[in-house]
A and B are shown apart, each in its own frame.
Chain A
Amino acid sequence: MKNNFPIILFSSFLQILGIFIVTFFILHLIPGDPIQVMLGESAAVSDQIKLRAELGLDQPIYKQLIDSYLQIIRGDFGKSILTGMPIKEQISIAMKNTYILALTALCISIIFGIAGGVIAAKYVDSFLDRIIINSSLFFISIPHFFLGPLLMLCLSIWLGWLPISGMNSPSSIILPALTLSLGMLAIIIKMTRNCMIEIADSDAVRTARAKGMKEWSITIHHIFRLVLIPLITIIGMQFGSLLSGAVITETLFSWNGLGMLLVDSIQTRDYPITQACIFIIAISYVFVNLFTEILYKIMDPRMKDI
């Protein structure tokens, strides 16, 4: 068995380095003087000089790059221009909220997706199967910014079961989490169903049946184990759309996470926060991909030699 974890780790490291450089140059791509854009044209000259020194924009570019690299290594993202508070605290609260939302959505879609897919595959071509497949087609093609209002309309306004937005009560996570998860759930259902049907026809399963294994035991030990492998890949890939969907969903439901912080910081031109949010979201995506790839190698014995 060849050990290629160092290569995977190295390529992830290169990606992170690239993300850092791209986010670093965001501030420098602002047309005109970034300080004037952020403070407004009527700002006092002394304030402008102060901010310029604080952001290090008066230094040569290679020194800025090294300084901000050292800062990020220490977990320091600088200060917010609007409030003067360190960004780190704001970011860590927002990160926590976004992760809670994303993980809830992930759990919903994995649990119900696999359950739905297994049921649809068990009763292939039945009425139930057709309902599951057609509704999942609907949820795959619906964008987050339409599904959110639709759920608000049905569950909050007409039925009055859930709070519309905000994060005051524990039940307020349900609507944004549903909005985020339904698309992914539909993809998992489709994937699980098609894989199960394919594997149920394979030689391995026929042999197991011939040996006289019980049906539920075949489903768990033979079919399901093989279904998990493509599922892990698709879940890892979809996590990115979960993170970028969080930007829309959080804005829609006033969920105090990274996405809402990102949009707010863009509107108030607080660009250091914008940089930090983009950096954190992209880095999380890289880590999820790395984790998926490692898990994939562990799960699939065929991949170990490649």
Chain B
Amino acid sequence: MNKLVFFIICFWVIGIIIKLFFGFDSNQMIFSEILIKPNFSSWLGRDDYGRDIFYRLIDGFLNSFEIIFLVTIISGFVGVLIGVISGYFGGKLDLFVRYITTLFMAFPGILLAIAFAAILSPGKINLIFALSIGGWVGYARLARAQTVLIKNLDFVKASESMGSSRKKIITNHILPSLKTPLIVEATYAVAGLIIAEASLSFIGLGLQAPMASWGGMMRDSVRFLLVSPHYALFVGLSIMSLVYCINFFGDYLNKKWDIKRIEN
């Protein structure tokens, strides 16, 4: 495996071990050490309230992990459900689902998430909701395309002619075939979600202070770019390195399972 990826993963694992076994308070402020440069007692320096940047990065990692995990579960479940039903039954329902997915894709990037995060008050639950609203579309398209492909294969037809119920065909034949492309899709989606979540926090629509979030830290750090560039560099590098690792992992899985992307 790539050495850089290994190093980055070790870094975060060490951080989480420190959090779990030794415990720390990322909100503890030391006013005499505001914006101090990296040293032995605080590895990555301290922020504008004198809080340890390393500890806040780990807390931010755990916070966004929680959000992204839930968003992936929710949007994956909803997307697969809608995609499989629309692909399997076809007809007018399928046409309607396809219209809805193209409609959702007309909103570029995180625009839809911004819209929903803006009108709902900021908070963890609403953030999860806002990110899931745009998130299910990718899964639904993938699940629909795969279902259409599988349901016309001979072994499914054979199973149908032997009297298998629709429920049995979906659970025994279609869902298992979805597993590998879905895992790859989810890996890439997680990388996108990390950036989306940080972007929302960056424009003030994500987790609110004093909770640590990477986007929020990035926004704070830009104000102190002149006096303490290390703050912005560390936050940005953590986001970038994690996204890089996840994309690398996605590429690895893609190559291992040799998945050909199916489009409508």
Contact = CB atoms under 8 A, between A and B. Distances in A.
B120 interface: yes
B137 to A, nearest CB: 13
Interface string A234-273: 0000011101110110011000000000110011000100
Interface in A1-59: 11, 14-15, 18-19, 22-23, 26-27, 29-31
B58 interface: no
Contact of A146 (B119, B120, B218): B218
Overall SS of chain A's interface: helix
Contacts of A31: 120-121
A141 B99 contact: no
A31 B106 CA distance: 25
Contacts of B247: 141
B34 interface: no
Contact of A157 (B225, B235, B236, B237): B225
Contacts of B103: 14-15, 18-19, 22
Contacts of B107: 19, 22, 278, 282, 285
Given A19-B107, A281-B108, A281-B111, A153 B232 contact: yes
A241 B199 contact: no
Given A19-B107, A149-B236, A251 B203 contact: yes
Nearest to B121: A31
13 contacts: A15-B103, A18-B103, A19-B106, A142-B240, A145-B219, A146-B218, A146-B240, A243-B108, A244-B111, A251-B203, A278-B107, A278-B114, A285-B106
A148 B203 CA distance: 14
B152 to A, nearest CB: 21
Contacts of A14: 99, 103
Given A141-B247, A274-B115, A282 B106 contact: yes
Contacts of A282: 106-108, 111
A204 interface: no
Interface in B218-246: 218-219, 221-222, 225-226, 229, 232-233, 235-237, 239-240, 243-244
B132 to A, nearest CB: 15
A267 B204 contact: yes
Contacts of B85: none
B77 to A, nearest CB: 22
Interface of B: 99, 102-103, 106-111, 114-116, 118-121, 195, 198-199, 202-205, 215, 218-219, 221-222, 225-226, 229, 232-233, 235-237, 239-240, 243-244, 247
Interface residues of A, number: 46
Contact of B109 (A240, A267, A274): A240
B115 to A, nearest CB: 5
A158 B114 CA distance: 34
Contacts of B240: 141-143, 146
Interface of A: 11, 14-15, 18-19, 22-23, 26-27, 29-31, 141-146, 148-150, 152-153, 157, 239-241, 243-245, 247-248, 251-252, 262-263, 266-267, 271, 274, 278, 281-282, 285-286, 289
A148 B237 CA distance: 13
Nearest to B218: A145
B108 A143 contact: no
Contact of A243 (B109, B119, B233, B235): B109
Contacts of A22: 103, 107
